[in-house]
Amino acid sequence: MNSWREARRHLNANRHALARRADLLYPDLPRVGSTHLLTRPAWALPEPLDLHEVVLRWTDETPPVPTPDGMTYAEAMIAHDPPKLFENRTCYRLLDVTWPELTFTRGMYFDAVNVGEAVGHEFAAADLAAGDDLPLRGRVPDPTDLRARPAHPAISMLTLRHDRESGELTFVLHWRDPALVAHGGGLFQVMPVGVFQPSEESPQAERADFDLWKCVVREYAEEFLGRSEHYGPAFDYETWPLYRRLTDARESGDLRSLVLGVGVDPLTFATDLLAVTVVEARTFDAVFGAMTGANDEGHATVGVPFDAGSVDRHVTREPMQAAGAAVLQLAWEQLLRDPITMLRSSRQ
């Protein structure tokens, strides 16, 4: 297993450079902006879509899941390189994107790990050997084909703090610790980011949590405020103070969440719903003012200027996860093109 560990270390230490090389394997696929995040023309939005206007559709259709030979990649990780957070939980598997509608079915987290992290590992091993033998990757010739492999999207949410008086915009930047996370270790990312999945393993939670806003609020609780990922069977969103406070802020116009598109990472096939939340300073400070730098997935930096220099640096030079670079660029372009759409209240 020394060679497995060596390839895993190489993957975690070089995800940014490896993703740029993997990007070259897909010359015919569109990209999100100038980034190497893969996409499809139908996934682009002509203008941002309010998060609460996205229509979620459920289907019991279950496309096949590729079955690996021998030990699965998740089993290998558990045995030889277990991250702190690693559970085979139910996820919502994305099948179709036809704006404003997203179609999902049921999936399991390890199904995506067994494909995505496996092809990333294979690519890292080939890079170490200066070879190009990629049989696992060859089984998925088009990573944007959502029915060819399990796609359990994460919501990559850029959080902008907006000071109405000064006009200042800042964002929260996250460094993902490879010792704590299964995916994206060693990279910067926007914050929060979380796989779209139920809060608990039960049919009731699966039905109740099939809601993007509920997922977003849970991620704010976990990544910004350090709340546990476990909620319990009797959990009630409507009486949860954080959910009520953020929902009230959205309804009053102090907070607005917008969807900007969908993309796929060329290295690991990680699929992301690209989104931005603009929070007025008074609400941000009241709700998140006590947040600390360290969390269960890495380290957060609050107050990064959302300006041309910072956006360009993180999109083009910093080791930024592809989805994070894409959402930063899309949000910046939208701000320049139509600041009213980006910053106007969610209720006219």
Q: Which tens digit of pLDDT belongs to each residue from 41-84? A: 999 999 999 999 999 999 999 898 887 778 999 999 999 988 87
- In contact, 247 and 29? CB cutoff 8 Å: no
Alpha carbon distance 121, 116 (integer Å) = 9
Each as own residue / partner, the long-range contacts of residues 228-231 (CB below 8 Å, 24 or more positions apart, any chain) are 229/85, 229/199, 230/200, 231/199, 231/200, 231/205
pLDDT at 346: 40
pLDDT at 182: 65
Domain boundaries, the chain: 2-343
- pLDDT, one tens digit per residue, over 215-236 is 999 999 999 998 888 888 878 9
pTM: 0.94
CATH of domain 2-343: 3.90.79.10
Q: What is the mean pLDDT of the chain?
A: 92
